[in-house]
Structure 1
């Protein structure tokens, strides 16, 4: 039996732009709160029903005592549970590990559209970790300590700069950093190659792969490679760090997603109309 999940919902403001709700999937070390700061309400104000939830063992969800044993497949099960309550095909937006969870979900399910945001690539974390270890060894070891001891002020300066731009309000950045928590060891091992993604470009819905141009955690080369793998639309955002939904230029990210969604959903509705007419 799955643990009870923490769920947040916002109804669309004014006329609904789509009958398909947006479901946000957070990354490692965080919870639904990372979407609630800006994206949940912003996209509701643009006319979308929005849902964010905390994966088991994260945020206010149950299963905290067994968090270190949770697998990526368990996280996919959490996403399945959320989608089943909707009765509609979702628009899926996932950040970092959340993007990996979405890719695994799409192995067996469909979605109206998907956005991978600074996402772990389908081949997992081996390449990104190797690139980080060679180019930023100090950051590589701080990521290790984050997992070993959790968020700590000693890690704030270097790890904080990889997560958020240096000039974000210090108090705001410290609040975000203090809310991080250790991740499941098993889930991290899954993303190191124990549970690879088996998903081809012919199986994915309309997809946008977004990254931060100077991301030190999921490097832009890997974002481009993921987009090529899925034959997906692709964009890099300037002047933003890995935590793209929280950083100072988060609205640039949201607007890029919105513009893409507006074009994609209209195109899909036309295709459906043409099929019906035929």
Structure 2
């Protein structure tokens, strides 16, 4: 399929990561973050996978500041990114790699990696607590409540929106004690574009939605869907419905529920269990 070129190219640090990956001769693992986080949310995962013999590539979204501190000083830079914009940007990164990578994404990153896999760009894919793609029908009440932080004001579509601690605690950190929830919020949370939330909310009434996934493409490769049992932002029902769509693919399609875990499962105290589950799956198909 023809994908519009992104208006901005990779940053110098992303080019350095690409060059390092290509020089290593190892299989790359590309980590795609979601809304309200930066690529630094994958730092521990990157080290974990490199210790296992892979080389990590952790691209941001277009215009992402390099640090959480800078992101909080300039939250308006996040406005304007759509799902299609970010997918095109990630595709440019992947196509600069000499080896087809494994790809891992969380939240809207979980949707993005399914889009990219559907374009035949992945050797194996792990989608963690993924946002729904077009055709995934469940809209559980916790997901609607979580999304209301953005959807409650139509003007938010064109804005950067930061979550209050209370909103973050409900959507991301409901499975954590309050002290850890505050720690995770202070360490990782940044503003995010309102567009993807509106795109996901109205995907099933928009036939041209950028959240489409070519889940039947035989070049999709092996796919694992991982969901947190207690997730409010992207509840288990959405992960299950995504799995039912994806299992129509002739490739390997699997699903794992992480008991007692919420949407923060990639960045909280239990991140390594999720990382190990992801690594075990990828290692079966990509050495």
Q: TM-score range by the shorter chain?
A: 0.7 to 0.9
1:229 maps to which residue?
245
Per-residue CA deviations over 1:16-46 (Å, capped at 9, x if unaligned) read: 9x9321000110122101112x211111112
Number of corresponding residues: 253
Q: Post-superposition shift, 1:197?
A: 1.4
Instruction: Pick from 224, 233, 252 the counterpart of residue 208 of structure 1.
Output: 224
Q: 2:263 aligns with which of 242, 258, 273?
A: 242
1:60-99 alignment, distance < 5 Å: 60=66, 67-99=78-110
Whether the 8 Å CA contact 1:91–1:111 is kept in 2: the answer is yes
> Which residue in 2 is equivalent to 1:57?
63
The structure number with the bigger radius of gyration is 1
Distance 2:194 2:223 in 1: 27
Partner of residue 206, structure 2: none
1:87, 1:198 → 2: CA distance?
A: 24
1: CA distance, partners of 2:162 / 2:137: 23
| Structure 2 unmatched runs, 5+ | 1-6, 204-208, 248-252
| Equivalent position of 1:251 in the other structure | 272
User: In the alignment, is the contact (CA less than 8 A) between 1:31 and 1:53 conserved in 2?
Assistant: no
Aligned-residue CA RMSD in angstroms?
3.3
User: What is the CA-CA distance between 1:171 and the residue it aligns to?
Assistant: 5.3
Scaled by the length of structure 2, what TM-score is found?
A: 0.75
Report the Cα distance in structure 2 between the residues aligned to 1:170 and 1:138, rounded to whole angstroms. 18
What residue is the counterpart of 2:50 in the other structure?
Answer: 44
TM-aligned CA distance change 1:67 to 1:233, over 3 Å: same
Distance 2:231 2:103 in 1: 22
- Using the TM superposition, give the Cα deviation of residue 160 of structure 1 relative to its aligned residue in structure 2, in angstroms: 1.8
User: Which of structures 1 and 2 has the larger relative contact order (alpha carbons within 8 angstroms, sep 6+)?
Assistant: 2
* Range that drifts further, 194-203 or 235-244: 194-203
Q: Deviations over 1:131-182 (max 9, x none)?
A: 23xx577545345579677435xx31353243123226355223135x3213
Contact between 1:211 and 1:223, CA under 8 Å: does it hold in 2?
A: yes
Q: Does 1:25 align with 2:27?
A: no
| SS of residue matched to 2:58 | strand
Q: How does 1:137-152 map to 2 (within 5 A)?
A: 139-142=146-149, 144=151, 150-151=161-162
CA contact under 8 A between 1:143 and 1:159: conserved in structure 2?
A: no
After superposition, the Cα gap between the structure-2 partners of 1:88 and 1:46, relative to the gap in structure 1 and judged at 3 Å, is: same
